[in-house]
């Protein structure tokens, strides 16, 4: 078991935060499979991400298949990542469940295993209003006051908009140090309403735009692309930091545009809603096509995806891998 750390703060959340999938064995799509996690690949990828220079790791969200793993699989995965990372960067494990008590139980277990925090969405069986969503976070922070939280603010996954009233209220919970954030249209008011006590982390391709809105606070981003080849994400972090110091944002913008080109086929019909319906299979096929890691097949029931949608993910993965290779070659 890793030694417990002091509760992280918003100031500890900077740079490039990679989101890992849960590597799957070849038979993971078969409901008869009792243990589907490829722990060897898990350890290899976690170590490789740290060695590549990422600033933190998030796991067990949507394409981390937190919803389709057994508890035994989830616990083994968390232990493997904690051991592989060995305290070199923060690791936040997903503990979203269908109710408050189960979430708290999982939070306490992964805390004792040695994670630095949790990535946590709201229970999703019944559509929540703001009072319910806020009370959920109040309850889990009361139960686990020594666990840092990255709020998993995905409106499609959790059937809740994570709107302005939400950020205004949860900003008073010091355990919520960051958020996996998607609502770029509402970023400026959400920054103000959260009193900048929460690091609102956009997707890699949105990081440039976020930093131009608030360069002093928007200093971290999340990326699933890092497991398609970490070079673009790491360079983006470095160019953004360089731009903050020099005031010249041209290089950062140019790389952002190149990253954006890899996303052209990722979202079916350009729709995030449609993408969210097949998120897990699209992302995992993207990762496998890129070739930096073996994400493996999807776990049931989310392994059923139309082939044209999968093809868009494959192309996106190949495009990211080409960009990574170009950057390695100095281009």
Taking the CA atoms of 26, 31, 35 and 38 in sequence, report the sign of the dihedral they define: positive
The catalytic residue among 77, 137, 152, 160 is 152
Residue at 243 is within a domain:
yes
Asked, for residue 306, whether it belongs to a domain, the answer is no
**Would you give per-residue pLDDT tens digits along the chain (331 residues)?**
344 568 999 999 999 999 999 999 999 999 999 999 999 999 999 999 999 999 999 999 999 999 999 999 999 999 999 999 999 999 999 999 999 999 999 999 999 999 999 999 999 899 999 999 999 999 999 999 999 999 999 999 999 999 999 999 999 999 999 999 999 999 999 999 999 999 999 999 999 999 999 999 999 999 999 999 999 999 999 999 999 999 999 999 999 999 999 999 999 988 888 999 999 999 999 999 999 999 999 999 999 999 999 999 999 999 999 999 999 999 8
- Using alpha carbons, list the distances in angstroms from residue 21 to 42, 65, 81, 288: 9, 7, 11, 11
Assigned domain for 241 exists = yes
Is 314 among the domain residues? no
In a domain, 310, yes or no: no
- Is residue 212, in this structure, part of any structural domain at all? yes
Catalytic: 4?
Answer: no
CATH number reported for the structural domain that contains residue 32 in this entry: 3.20.20.70
**Alpha carbon of 221 to those of 194, 229, 298: distances in Å?**
17, 16, 26
String of DSSP letters for 264-315:
TTTSGGG-HHHHHHTHHHHHHHHHHHH-SS---PPPTTTT---HHHHHHHHH
- 302 domain residue, yes or no: no
Domain count, the chain: 1
pTM greater than 0.85 (yes/no) = yes
213 C-beta neighbours (distance < 10 Å), count: 13
State which residues form the domain around 176: 10-260
Please answer whether residues 225 and 259 qualify as being in contact, where contact means their C-beta atoms are separated by less than 8 angstroms. Answer: yes
Whether residue 253 lies in the annotated active site: no
Catalytic site residue from 74, 137, 180, 207: 180
Position 159 in a domain = yes
């Amino acid at each position: 078991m890793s030694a417990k750390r002091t509760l992280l703060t918003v100031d500890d959340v900077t740079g490039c935060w990679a989101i890992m999938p849960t590597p799957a064995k070849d038979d993971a799509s078969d409901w008869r499979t009792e243990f589907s996690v490829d722990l060897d690949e898990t350890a290899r990828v976690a170590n490789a991400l740290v060695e590549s220079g990422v600033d933190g790791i998030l796991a067990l969200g949507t394409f981390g298949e937190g919803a389709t793993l057994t508890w035994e699989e989830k616990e083994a995965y968390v232990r493997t990542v904690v051991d592989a990372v060995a305290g070199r960067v923060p690791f936040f494990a997903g503990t979203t469940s269908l109710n408050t008590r189960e979430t708290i139980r999982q939070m306490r277990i992964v805390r004792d295993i040695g994670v630095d925090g949790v990535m946590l969405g709201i229970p999703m069986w019944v559509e929540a209003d703001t009072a319910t969503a806020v009370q959920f976070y109040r309850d889990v922070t009361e139960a686990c006051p020594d666990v840092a939280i990255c709020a998993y603010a995905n409106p499609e996954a959790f059937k809740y908009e994570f709107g302005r009233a939400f950020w205004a209220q949860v900003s008073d919970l010091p355990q919520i140090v960051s958020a996996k954030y998607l609502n770029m249209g509402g970023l400026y008011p959400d920054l103000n309403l959260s009193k900048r006590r929460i690091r609102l982390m956009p997707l890699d391709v949105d990081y440039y735009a976020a930093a131009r809105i608030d360069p002093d606070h928007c200093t971290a981003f999340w990326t699933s692309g890092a497991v398609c080849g970490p070079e673009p994400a790491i360079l983006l972090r470095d160019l953004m930091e360089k731009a903050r110091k020099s005031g010249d944002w041209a290089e950062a913008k140019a790389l952002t545009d190149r990253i954006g080109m890899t996303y052209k086929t990722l979202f079916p019909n350009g729709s995030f809603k449609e993408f969210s319906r097949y998120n897990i299979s699209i992302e995992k096929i993207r990762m496998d096509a890129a070739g930096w890691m073996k994400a493996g097949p999807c776990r049931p029931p989310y392994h059923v995806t139309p082939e044209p949608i999968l093809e868009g993910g494959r192309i996106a993965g190949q495009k990211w891998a080409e960009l990574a290779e170009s950057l390695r070659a100095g281009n």
